[in-house]
Amino acid sequence: MQTVIIGHNFKNLGHLLLFFIAILSLSQSANLVRAAAAPALMIGFWRLLGAAFLMLGLRFWNSKKNGQSFFEPVSKSAWSWAFLSGSFFFLHLWTFFYAAQNTSIANCMVIFATNPIFTALVAWLLLKDRFEKRYAVAFVLAFSGVAALASDRLAWDTARSGDLSALVSAVFIALYMVTGKRARLEMSNDQFSWVIYIWTAVLFLVAGTFQQTQWLGYPTFTWWAILGTILFPTLLGHVLMTHLLKHFNINWMSCGKLLEPALSSAVAFLVFDEKLKIQTLIAFGFTVAAVFVLFWPLLFRKSAPLQELETEL
């Protein structure tokens, strides 16, 4: 019995480690988009196309290794949820890229970090997920941070439109996560990933064609930055997050993403010399408080084994 418990604890500890790797990878998305210095639709198309081919290869390898069919036998409903999730993913990325290029990295990430509020509301309405009281406290603290950032804007300008785009992107990522969780009830992670990545790449191609986006002819550094968005935010970020949807409560995962602003802003300070304003520091303070509230059971329940936390979180 003791061996089983220890093994289960290590398994869940591994899930927690993967979760923090995903958060670290996702936190650098805005910095890589800023570094690419190219149109949002161009970045989105090549990023998702590259990720789709990688996931197709992974799916092919897994199907051969396990003696399975390349296409899993899933219901039409699961396919519908997958394509709907991919559509929301496209809208999230488009609005997020715009925000990353038109406001500060700190503002983009702190405002985007409000997505747990929308995720919780949608999950509660559609998935009937449990809504813990401490989530509400964390959400209030997070929105207080956004209010602190908003106090720095007195007139509508490009930066304000970037701030608004970050908030809209937060709504779309919430819809992506919830609809993705419905699809993942029947689909494996690798099949779900390549389906939504190809679909999202197609949507970027269509939107870019209508806007006469230039697809080639960019400097080498742009392509390196796009490759970085494929390897880190997409593969180590979104793929791990969709995989972990089966193991953790969706509200807890979304709240844990509140760590992203501090990580991304630290890199923006070092790479782009973005100075942190007092409003940003105040917003970070609220974010830290929100995360502290979120992890309260982990910090103070001395006897709480990880297998209990898996179901609670």
What pLDDT digit, counting tens, does each position of 166-213 carry? 989 988 988 998 888 888 888 887 788 888 999 999 999 999 999 999
Instruction: Look at residue 45 and tell me whether its pLDDT is greater than 70.
Output: yes
CB < 8 Å & 24+ apart, contacts of 223-229: 223/46, 225/32, 225/33, 225/35, 225/36, 225/37, 226/32, 226/36, 226/38, 226/43, 226/46, 226/47, 226/50, 227/50, 228/28, 228/32, 228/35, 229/29, 229/32, 229/33, 229/36, 229/43, 229/47
Quick one: pLDDT at residue 3?
A: 42
| Low-confidence winner among 95-99, 103-107, 127-131, 244-248 (lowest mean pLDDT) | 127-131
| Low-confidence winner among 92-101, 191-200, 247-256, 278-287 (lowest mean pLDDT) | 247-256
Quick one: pLDDT at residue 144?
A: 83
pLDDT band at 310 (very low <50, low <70, confident <90, very high): very low
CA–CA distances in Å: residue 176 to residues 3, 57, 236: 38, 23, 17
pLDDT band at 8 (very low <50, low <70, confident <90, very high): very low
Quick one: pLDDT at residue 205?
A: 97
Instruction: Look at residue 287 and tell me whether its pLDDT is greater than 50.
Output: yes
With tokens 């059971």, the residue in question is: 297
Torsion, Cα 165 167 169 171, to 10 degrees, reads -140
Quick one: pLDDT at residue 169?
A: 93
Q: Which pair of structure tokens corresponds to residue 166?
A: 């970050």
The mean pLDDT of the chain is 80
Q: Which pair of structure tokens corresponds to residue 239?
A: 């793929």
pLDDT band at 84 (very low <50, low <70, confident <90, very high): very high
Average pLDDT over residues 158-162: 75
Instruction: Identify the residue with better confidence: 250 or 213.
Output: 213
Quick one: pLDDT at residue 211?
A: 93
